Amino acid sequence: MIKGIVYVSKAIVDFNSDDLKKLETFASDCNKQFGITGYLYFEKGFFLQYIEGDDAVVDVLMNNIKQDTRHTVLSYKNTTDIISRKFPAWYMRKLTKSSLIQINMENVLIDYMTDCNKKRSMELNSESVWRMVNKLSGFRKKI
């Protein structure tokens, strides 16, 4: 069974671009061995990481990550409701702000709102929607 975990953590030590590159290389080498895929985003002292793979292996990795004294995991969500991998070719891809802007957040919002409309069981969480809209307006100021 494939398990996916997404978490946010706060860095305790400083991570410069060299440290991040080293972490990415280390993580992708290990993850390749264990069949784990996902991505790692770092911005202003916070990490957002998504990992997916065999559930037992993902649990072991998440335990290691939680015990890593370089950061503190603030919150995480996991799911086993994954039919196929979302990032099959990324053993641990480090994402930057510019790569994420290209993903176009409006599309994420359109997807979410249309999905909620289609699936009656899924109620649109207005707090999430407004949070995204506000985020977008924040991005706009930087463009």
Ligand X SMILES: Cc1cc2nc3c(=O)[nH]c(=O)nc-3n(C[C@H](O)[C@H](O)[C@H](O)COP(=O)(O)O)c2cc1C
Which helix (H) or strand (E) element contains residue 2? strand 2-11
Min dist CB 11 to ligand X, Å, is: 8
Nearest CB to ligand X, comparing residues 96 and 128: 96
Q: Which of 75, 35, 66, 64 is nearest to 52 (CA)?
A: 35
- Site map 59..78 versus ligand X, x via CB under 6 A: --x--xx--x-xx-------
Stretch that binds ligand X, among 58-66, 79-87, 121-129, 131-139 (CB under 6 A): 58-66
Min dist CB 129 to ligand X, Å, is: 28
Min dist CB 75 to ligand X, Å, is: 14
In the chain, what's the furthest Cα-to-Cα distance? 47
Under the binding rule (CB under 6 A), the answer on residue 3 touching ligand X is no
**Amino acid in position 36:** I
Q: Do 105 and 136 touch, CB atoms closer than 8 A?
A: yes
Stretch that binds ligand X, among 22-30, 74-82, 101-109, 115-123 (CB under 6 A): 22-30
Under the binding rule (CB under 6 A), the answer on residue 93 touching ligand X is no
State whether residue 52 is helix, strand or coil: strand
Q: Do 34 and 61 touch, CB atoms closer than 8 A?
A: yes
Let me know how many helices (H) and strands (E) the chain has, helices first: 5, 5
CA distance 84 to 52: 10
28-57 residues in contact with ligand X (CB under 6 A) are: 30-31, 40, 47, 49, 51
Q: Which residues bind ligand X (CB under 6 A)?
A: 9, 23, 27, 30-31, 40, 47, 49, 51, 61, 64-65, 68, 70-71, 92
